[in-house]
Chain A
Amino acid sequence: MSGKVAAVAREVQVSEEGLERVRTLLKEKYHPRDHEEAQELILMACQDIQHILGWVSPEAARLVGEHFGTTENRVFGLLTFYADFRTQPPGNHFMLLCHGTACYVGGSQRLIDELRDNYGVGDHETTADGELTVQIVNGCLGVCDIAPVIHLDHVYHGDLDVPTFRQTIEEAKRRGPAGGHHEAH
C-alpha cells in the first residue's frame, strides 16, 4: 500500500441470514433458568456472536437484549466497555497486535508506528480499502517467547521486525480474504 489512507467507519448491516444464525445460536445454546443466570450469559453470548459474525451489530445486540430480558442499550454498554468486542464489521483480514510488556521490549511500538504511517490504521480501525482491521492487545497474547507477535487471520507470526511484519501483511492480502469467522481473541 502506498501513501496514507484514513480509516473510516463503514455503514454495513448484517444480512438476514447472519441474524438468523444469531437467533438460532441463542435459541439452541442459551437457556437461562432464571434472571440471574440470564445476566451472566450476556457476555458469553456476545463472544459467540462475534465468533459467527466477526462483530456484534446493533441488530444482534437487540436480539441478545430480547433473549436475556434486558435492553439493547445495556448490551451495547458492555460491548463498548470490553475491549474484545467490535461494534464495526472487520475488514477482509483481522489482526491482533500484541502490545504486552515483552512485545514492547521486543519492539512492538515500531509495528504500531508502521501501521499508522503506512497503512493508516490504529487500534480498532479498518483500512479505507476494507482490507485490514487491527486490534491492539493491551494485555497479552501469552506467547511472549516469540515477541513481538501478531495473530493474523487465526495464525500467529512471531519474532517480527518492520520488514517481516510488512511482508506478513502483504502475503495475507495476496492470499485473498480470510475465510470463515473472525475469532474473538
Chain B
Amino acid sequence: MKLTSRADFDTLVRNVTAAWDEMNDGSRWVISVGISECSIAKGATDTFEHLRLKLEDSGLRYVLRRVGCGGWCWAEPFVVVSGPNHPPILYGPVDAERAPDLVAAMQRGLPLADLAVGTVGDEAIGPIRPLLEHPFFSRQKRVLTEDWGVIDPTSIDDYIARGGYSSWAKVLFDMSPDEVIEEMKTANIRGRGGAGFPAGIKWERARKSRGAPKYVAVNSHEGEPNVYKDRRLIESNPHLVLEGILIACYAVGANRGYNYVGGEHVMALDRFKQAVEQAIEYGLVGENILGSGFDVEVRVRAGGGAYICGEGSALMYSVMGERGQPRTKPPRSVDEGLWRRPTMLNNTESIANTALVIRNGGEWYANLGTEKSKGTKLFTMQGPLKRLGVVEMEMGVNLKDLIFDVYGGMKDGYRFKGVQTGGVSAGALVEAQLDVPVDFDSLTPLGGMLGSGGFVIFDQSVCPVDFARYLQEFNRYESCSKCTPCRLGNPALVEIINRIRNGNGRPEDLDLIDRTSKHVIELSLCGLGQVAPMPLLGMIKAFREEFVEHINGVCRHGTCPMTARQPMAIAADG
C-alpha cells in the first residue's frame, strides 16, 4: 500500500494504533520473545519454538511475537508476558525447558515468580517488584531504547503505532530544512562515534556545502571490540535509524542516504534492508514522498570486517568498493566525500536520536545529560560483572555507580583491578579514579575516553602487561598499512612489549615505548593511527609498577611467558 499524501499517512497511523491497542486490550495473552543476535546465542530460538508448540495446545487466546533485544543480556533469553488481569512481566532467563512452566502459569492465570525479573510499570504483583526498582533499570533513561523489546523490529506497523515516522511527516510538511537544523543545534547532540563533534554544526556545514548532489552516510560499522550498541539498535529498532537518515537527507538537501553496516553483522544488515523495503512499500522512501515533492533513496552497503572502515574517509572508500584506507584531509567529506560529492557522515546512535529530537523538541533533548554533553548515551560494559548488557544512561552518570550499581559490581570471587575505556583507543582507569562523571570531557584528563561507550572491566587475575600487549596487537593488526608511522610503529611497539613480557625487557624500554608512541601519535595519517598506542601508554600509566617488575623478571600473575623461561634463554635473545 503506497501512501501518497499526509492524510493517507494519518489514516495509517490511526489504523495501526488501533491494531496495537487491540492487541494490548487485555483480552488475550501477549507473549513477546526477544530475538536478536545476542539472545539467539543463548537459545532464544528454541525458547520461541517451545513456547509456540505449547501455546498451540494451550487453549489460550494469545499472540506470540518476536521483539528485539532489551539490553539485559544477563536475563536472556527473555519473554515479556501480559494478559487478562495480568500486567506485563519480564521473565528471564527462560530457556527452552522452562517454556512449558510459563505456559502452564498462563493457563492458571498466574505469574511465575521464580522466573520473573520484574513487572513493566509501577505495580508489584506479590513478590514480583516493578522493574524500575531494579538497580539495572532504576537509573536508566530509556529514550533510544524505549521500544527495545517492545516492538517487533520486522514490523513497520509496530513502529508507526508507537509514534514512528511522525517526525518524518512533520519535517516534510511543517518544517523547513533550516528549522530542522536549528532544532538539531538546540539539542546539541555530540557525535556518538567517539569524536563528539556537534551534530547540528555538521548538518549546517553540509547544508551550506556547495556541490550537488549531496549524500548522507551513516556509520553502522562497529569494528571495535566490545562495542555492539549500534548492532543492537538496528536489530531492535531499525526504523528509528532509517527515519533519522531520512530527516538528515531533507535537512541537508540530499536525495540519497547510505547506511554502511559491517558485513559480519548479518542480522542487523538483514533487518535494516527489510526496514528500507517496508518504508519503500509505504511510500515513505522513494519519489514524491507523501506528495511532498521530496525524493530520497536509501542504499544499504556492507563492509567486510576491517576496523579501519570506521574512519570517515576509509568508510567512503569502502562504500565505493575500494580498500578502506584513509586519505589526507582536507577536503573534509562534507565537501568531498562519496564520489567526490559533499557527504555528511553520522554515527548510528547520533542519527537515531534525530527522530526523537524532532518529535519532542531540541529543548527536551538539551535538558538531558550535562551542560557540555547533552542527551543519553548507550553503554556496553563487559568483564566479570554480575549483570552484562547495553544500558542507556543520561550523560554524566558516575562511573563508579555505573560499574557497581547498574552492572551490579564484580562477580563473586573476582576483585576489580581496572577498567579499559574508549574501546581500544584510550587508557585504563584504576579504582581510585572511578568517581568521575562519564561524558565527553571528564574522562580524558584521567587518560581515559568516552569513545563509543564501550568499557571492559578486568579483574586481579589479568596481567596489565599482557593486556597492553593484546591491545597493542589489536591496533597493529588493524593498521591499514597505508602510512609508515602506523605501519611500522605499531609492530615495533608490539615487539618491545613482547620482549618485556618474555622477560627480556631492558630498563630503557619504557622510554623507548614513549618515544616510539610519540612518532605514531604525531605522524600517523588518520584518527585511528593517532590513537593506536594510547591503550599501551594508558596501561603503563595506570600500572607502571608492574611493567617495571616485568623488566626485572617478575610477572606477579604468573601468566607472562617469562615465568616458564630459563635464565639461559633470556641471555640468548636479550
Interfacial residues, chain A to chain B (CB-CB below 8 A): 36, 39-44, 46-47, 68, 70, 77-78, 81-85, 99-106, 109, 137-140, 142-147, 149, 156, 158, 183-185
B283-305, CB < 8 A from A:
299, 301-305
Binding stretch for chain A, among B317-325, B326-334, B566-574: B317-325
| A142–B319 CA distance with the chains assembled, in angstroms | 23
Q: What 4 pairs across the A-B complex have the smallest Cβ distances? A: A82-B304, A100-B225, A142-B228, A156-B41
B301:A81 contact, CB within 8 angstroms: no
Which chain A residue lies CB-closest to B232?
A: A142
B231:A144 contact, CB within 8 angstroms: no
| A39–B474 CA distance with the chains assembled, in angstroms | 29
Task: Say yes or no for B404: interface residue by CB 8 A criterion.
Answer: no
B residues within 8 A CB of A137?
A: 264, 305
How distant is B238 from chain A, measured CB to nearest CB, in Å?
Answer: 16
Binding stretch for chain A, among B15-23, B202-210, B369-377, B380-388: B380-388
How distant is B198 from chain A, measured CB to nearest CB, in Å?
Answer: 28
- Residue among B225, B420, B423, B424 with most chain A CB within 10 A: B225
Which chain B residue lies CB-closest to A41?
A: B321
B224:A145 contact, CB within 8 angstroms: no
| A36–B389 CA distance with the chains assembled, in angstroms | 40
Task: Say yes or no for B222: interface residue by CB 8 A criterion.
Answer: yes
A83:B74 contact, CB within 8 angstroms: no
How distant is A82 from chain B, measured CB to nearest CB, in Å?
Answer: 3
How distant is A140 from chain B, measured CB to nearest CB, in Å?
Answer: 4
How distant is A54 from chain B, measured CB to nearest CB, in Å?
Answer: 15
Decide: A145 near B73, CB < 8 A? Known: A36-B339, A83-B304: yes
Task: Say yes or no for B187: interface residue by CB 8 A criterion.
Answer: no
How distant is B222 from chain A, measured CB to nearest CB, in Å?
Answer: 7
| A93–B321 CA distance with the chains assembled, in angstroms | 30
B477:A40 contact, CB within 8 angstroms: no
| A183–B560 CA distance with the chains assembled, in angstroms | 35
Decide: A145 near B318, CB < 8 A? Known: A78-B323, A105-B384: no
Which chain B residue lies CB-closest to A46?
A: B304
A residues within 8 A CB of B523?
A: none
Which chain B residue lies CB-closest to A100?
A: B225
Decide: A39 near B40, CB < 8 A? Known: A138-B307, A139-B223: no
Question: In the complex, which of the residues A40, A144, A146 contacts B228, with contact meaning CB atoms closer than 8 Å?
Answer: A144
| A183–B299 CA distance with the chains assembled, in angstroms | 23
B residues within 8 A CB of A43?
A: 263, 301-304, 318, 321
How distant is B47 from chain A, measured CB to nearest CB, in Å?
Answer: 14
Decide: A145 near B388, CB < 8 A? Known: A40-B301, A83-B305, A100-B225: yes
B263:A84 contact, CB within 8 angstroms: yes
Decide: A185 near B266, CB < 8 A? Known: A140-B224, A142-B231: yes
B44-81, CB < 8 A from A:
73-74, 76
A156:B470 contact, CB within 8 angstroms: no
| A81–B478 CA distance with the chains assembled, in angstroms | 10
Task: Say yes or no for B306: interface residue by CB 8 A criterion.
Answer: yes
| A174–B319 CA distance with the chains assembled, in angstroms | 41
A140:B305 contact, CB within 8 angstroms: no
A139:B225 contact, CB within 8 angstroms: yes
A residues within 8 A CB of B320?
A: 36, 39-40
A residues within 8 A CB of B265?
A: 142
B226:A144 contact, CB within 8 angstroms: yes
A109:B470 contact, CB within 8 angstroms: yes
Interface range on chain B (Cβ under 8 Å from partner): 35 or more
| A44–B227 CA distance with the chains assembled, in angstroms | 23
Which chain B residue lies CB-closest to A183?
A: B266
C-beta contact mask, B493-522 vs A, less than 8 Å → 1, else 0? Answer: 000000000000000000000000000000
Which chain A residue lies CB-closest to B318?
A: A43
| A55–B301 CA distance with the chains assembled, in angstroms | 20
Which chain A residue lies CB-closest to B74?
A: A145
| A77–B325 CA distance with the chains assembled, in angstroms | 13
| A143–B42 CA distance with the chains assembled, in angstroms | 9
| A39–B320 CA distance with the chains assembled, in angstroms | 6
Question: In the complex, which of the residues B38, B321, B459 contacts A39, with contact meaning CB atoms closer than 8 Å?
Answer: B321
Task: Say yes or no for B416: interface residue by CB 8 A criterion.
Answer: no
A residues within 8 A CB of B382?
A: 101-102, 105, 144-145, 147
A104:B304 contact, CB within 8 angstroms: no
A78:B223 contact, CB within 8 angstroms: no
Which chain A residue lies CB-closest to B454?
A: A101
Question: In the complex, which of the residues B40, B225, B457 contacts A138, with contact meaning CB atoms closer than 8 Å?
Answer: B225
Task: Say yes or no for B458: interface residue by CB 8 A criterion.
Answer: yes
C-beta contact mask, B170-214 vs A, less than 8 Å → 1, else 0? Answer: 000000000000000000000000000000000000000000000
Can you add 17 more A-B contacts, CB < 8 Å, to A82-B306, A105-B384, A156-B40?
Answer: A40-B320, A40-B321, A43-B301, A78-B304, A84-B263, A101-B382, A101-B424, A101-B471, A102-B456, A104-B467, A105-B467, A138-B478, A140-B222, A140-B225, A142-B37, A143-B37, A145-B389
C-beta contact mask, B558-570 vs A, less than 8 Å → 1, else 0? Answer: 0000000000000
A residues within 8 A CB of B420?
A: 101
A residues within 8 A CB of B324?
A: 81-82
Which chain B residue lies CB-closest to A75?
A: B321
B323:A77 contact, CB within 8 angstroms: yes
Task: Say yes or no for B462: interface residue by CB 8 A criterion.
Answer: yes
B residues within 8 A CB of A99?
A: 225
| A61–B388 CA distance with the chains assembled, in angstroms | 42
How distant is A96 from chain B, measured CB to nearest CB, in Å?
Answer: 8
| A149–B40 CA distance with the chains assembled, in angstroms | 13
B82-115, CB < 8 A from A:
none
B residues within 8 A CB of A101?
A: 225-226, 382, 420, 423-424, 454, 456, 470-471
Which chain A residue lies CB-closest to B43?
A: A156
A residues within 8 A CB of B303?
A: 43, 82
B397-438, CB < 8 A from A:
420, 423-424
- Residue among A40, A81, A183 with most chain B CB within 10 A: A81
A139:B37 contact, CB within 8 angstroms: no
Which chain B residue lies CB-closest to A39?
A: B321
How distant is A134 from chain B, measured CB to nearest CB, in Å?
Answer: 15
